[in-house]
Amino acid sequence: MAEPAVNRSFVKLAGVGHRYDPNPAIPPAVTGIDLDIHRHEFVAVVGPSGCGKSTLLRMIAGLLKPSEGRVTVFGRAVDGPRDDVGIVFQKPTLLPWLNVRKNVLFPLRHKYGRYNREDEARADALLAMAGLEAFARKMPDELSGGMQQRVGIVRALLLNPDILLMDEPFSALDAMTREQIGFDLLSLWQEQPKTVLFITHSIAEAVLLADRVLVMSRRPGTVLDLIDVDLPRPRTTHTISDARFGELTDRIRKHIYEPDAA
Ligand SMILES: Nc1ncnc2c1ncn2[C@@H]1O[C@H](COP(=O)(O)OP(=O)(O)OP(=O)(O)O)[C@@H](O)[C@H]1O
């Protein structure tokens, strides 16, 4: 009998790996990754540079084919780029000749050739939620880096994707903006729940935002640990001073800086 849909994990990776170089003497980028992500769960991925975090994200997005194992979304194999996935990269790549509102609406026009009043109303509501209401008619170069990145997030959310994949989305921002935009992302996620995979180099950011943190090993990237972040929500600046926050970040730090001792 088929497993009831509600019991199935939403995004499932079973023995997933990828090698860029077919030469067997060169190790694969990632190998043997098993991961079940639940619907509307926020999973952060951390690991040393080059351990295969982006490779993993690209396989879930359907932009890269695994060379071992299988990626499924809601029980169906991922075999190409998916419509229900929104991706946010390190740089928002806004179109400089369109204002903020038009940039946000651009993917709809690109995909369907047009957008309607309802789409515009949703764009305005999301821009307001992201604190960008007053900047809707501004051009991208009139915005700070943090605001531009918020526009990029709103643009990804407007397509209402089931899955939001974020590849170091805040790494180009200064520390204060970065913390604030993290909380903004959590508010947007709580208003419009999505399944999120969030790659970051910041251990603190991973713990502050996520339900679980996947810690990857050096190349070839494997799962070193998958940590439940049992900190209450909503997360705030007070979360950072919680003793449990310190314990969790220490545990991850040990994995990354003293992998043989962990
Ligand atoms: N197109 C490619 N061709 C060959 N090797 C690649 C390609 N893309 C990535 N790699 C290699 O695969 C490994 C994993 O790369 P990936 O970008 O997934 O790691 P990452 O953990 O996201 O890195 P970083 O934290 O530095 O962004 C690295 O050793 C990288 O050099």
**Is pLDDT above 60 for 5?**
no
The sign of the CA dihedral 7, 8, 11, 12 is positive
Q: How many domains does the chain have?
A: 1
Could you give the CA distance from residue 73 to residue 5 in angstroms, rounded to a whole number?
11
Report yes or no on 85 lying in a domain. no
Between the CA of 227 and the centroid of ligand 1 the distance, in Å, is 24
Could you give the CA distance from residue 235 to residue 141 in angstroms, rounded to a whole number?
32
Ligand 1 within 6 A of 52 CB? yes
Ligand 1 within 6 A of 220 CB? no
Between the CA of 253 and the centroid of ligand 1 the distance, in Å, is 21
pLDDT for res 261: 64
* Structure tokens, 78: 């991922």
Render pLDDT for 196-251 as a digit per residue (tens, 0 to 9): 999 999 999 999 999 999 999 999 999 999 999 999 999 999 999 999 999 999 99
Over residues 97-111, the mean pLDDT reads: 93
Residue 142 is given by DSSP the state G
Place of tokens 């996620």: 189
Report yes or no on 20 lying in a domain. no
pLDDT for res 113: 83
Report yes or no on 4 lying in a domain. no
Report yes or no on 102 lying in a domain. yes
Report yes or no on 175 lying in a domain. no
Range of the domain at 138: 94-160
Report yes or no on 142 lying in a domain. yes
Residue 5 is given by DSSP the state G
Alpha helices in the chain (DSSP H): 53-61, 100-112, 117-129, 145-158, 175-191, 203-209, 237-240, 243-257
Average pLDDT, the chain: 92
pLDDT for res 7: 44
Report yes or no on 111 lying in a domain. yes
Supply the ipTM of this predicted assembly: 0.98
Q: What is the pTM of this model?
A: 0.92
Which residue's CA is minimally distant from atom 14 of ligand 1? 52
Render pLDDT for 11-38 as a digit per residue (tens, 0 to 9): 999 999 999 999 999 999 999 999 999 9
Report yes or no on 180 lying in a domain. no
Render pLDDT for 151-195 as a digit per residue (tens, 0 to 9): 999 999 898 899 999 999 998 888 888 888 899 899 989 988 999
Which residue's CA is minimally distant from atom 3 of ligand 1? 20
pLDDT for res 74: 87
